[in-house]
Amino acid sequence: MNQAKKEQNKPEKQFIRFVGTSHIAKQSLENVKQAFYEFSPDVVALELDSQRIKSLYSTSQAQPSFFSLIPHIGLFGALFVKVGHFIQQKLGKMVGISPGSEMKIAASLAKERQLPLLLIDRNINITMRRLSKAFTFKEGCHIFWEIISAPFMKKKRIRFDLSKVPPEKMVNKLIKEMKKAYPSLYKVLIEERNHYMKKMLDEFHNRFPEKRILVVVGEGHRSWLEKQLKQN
């Protein structure tokens, strides 16, 4: 009887651990290292696709032009890629971190131990094409108005340390606001990719149930993925 009780009280073996990151935060690098050595995974899953991981390791400084991107990912997709890249590079220089460094750290740690990488994100071109099709004229006007009115607005701004991963509560608040103001952005960039990454993790875990997976994703995806996979 006592033996049965002991077995019942045994902690459940953990097969998946998540690390929520900010792509330009120094804290992300430390969090990834700490989780890797504590968890000792059999495989490392990254919020990347094959195209994005290649660009992370590319030594070329040249970026595809705005007009060359349009036939592949649409007008708004190309605009989003260019603006997003510019902002990330600017913020990265401010904090002294190259965007995506935490993904490179995770990949290098996996390489050290000869562990496989699992790329769980949807192809970036598919995501951007979906965004170009889904984005509405109304949302475009909303973004334009926010840009030109921002210097004159007295609305309280959310402030946080760029060198640290924003707290979950703050991230959830920002995502909620994004969903309300820009439903197509939320659907394509957050919701659809969440479901895609969950599907990839589910499929891998079903094929290799004993493998311990360290999942490195942006904090905006971590909370939902973690809850969904715990429920399963």
Instruction: Using the predicted structure, report yes or no on whether residue 129 has a pLDDT greater than 90.
Output: yes
What average pLDDT does the chain have? Answer: 85
Closest CA to 232 of 217, 204, 221: 204
Q: Quick one: pLDDT at residue 65?
A: 78
Closest CA to 98 of 20, 25, 27, 19: 25
Helices (H) and strands (E) in the chain, counts: 12, 4
Q: Quick one: pLDDT at residue 1?
A: 46
What's the mean pLDDT in 218-227?
95
* 3-state DSSP of 27-72: HHHHHHHHHHHHHCCCEEEECCCHHHHHHHHCCCCCCCCHHHHHHH
Instruction: Using the predicted structure, report yes or no on whether residue 220 has a pLDDT greater than 70.
Output: yes
Q: Quick one: pLDDT at residue 62?
A: 66
In a domain, 208, yes or no: yes
In a domain, 10, yes or no: no
In a domain, 152, yes or no: yes
Q: Which of 30-34, 178-182, 188-192, 193-197 has the lowest mean pLDDT?
A: 178-182
Buried-state track 89-100, b at ≥16 Cβ within 10 A, e below 16: eebbeeeebebb
In a domain, 4, yes or no: no
The domain tally of the chain equals 1
Instruction: Using the predicted structure, report yes or no on whether residue 180 has a pLDDT greater than 60.
Output: yes
Q: Quick one: pLDDT at residue 157?
A: 61
Please name the helix (run of DSSP H) or strand (run of DSSP E) that holds residue 219, with its range, or none: helix 219-231
Closest CA to 213 of 13, 7, 10: 13
Percent of the chain with pLDDT strictly greater than 70: 83
pLDDT tens sequence across 134-165: 988 788 777 767 766 655 555 556 666 777 88
In a domain, 65, yes or no: yes
Instruction: Using the predicted structure, report yes or no on whether residue 28 has a pLDDT greater than 80.
Output: yes
In a domain, 2, yes or no: no
Number of C-beta neighbours around residue 226 at 10 A: 16
User: CA-to-CA distance for 211 and 41, rounded, in angstroms?
Assistant: 8
What's the mean pLDDT in 15-39?
94
Model pTM score: 0.84
Question: What is the residue range of 179's domain?
Answer: 15-231
In a domain, 8, yes or no: no
Q: Are 118 and 46 in contact (CB under 8 A)?
A: yes
pLDDT tens sequence across 92-107: 676 677 889 999 999 9
Instruction: Using the predicted structure, report yes or no on whether residue 2 has a pLDDT greater than 70.
Output: no
Q: What are the beta bridge partners of residue 20? A: 217
In a domain, 112, yes or no: yes
Q: Quick one: pLDDT at residue 183?
A: 92
pLDDT tens sequence across 64-81: 776 777 887 787 777 777
What's the mean pLDDT in 173-182?
91
- As given in the structure block, the two tokens for residue 100 are 């995506």
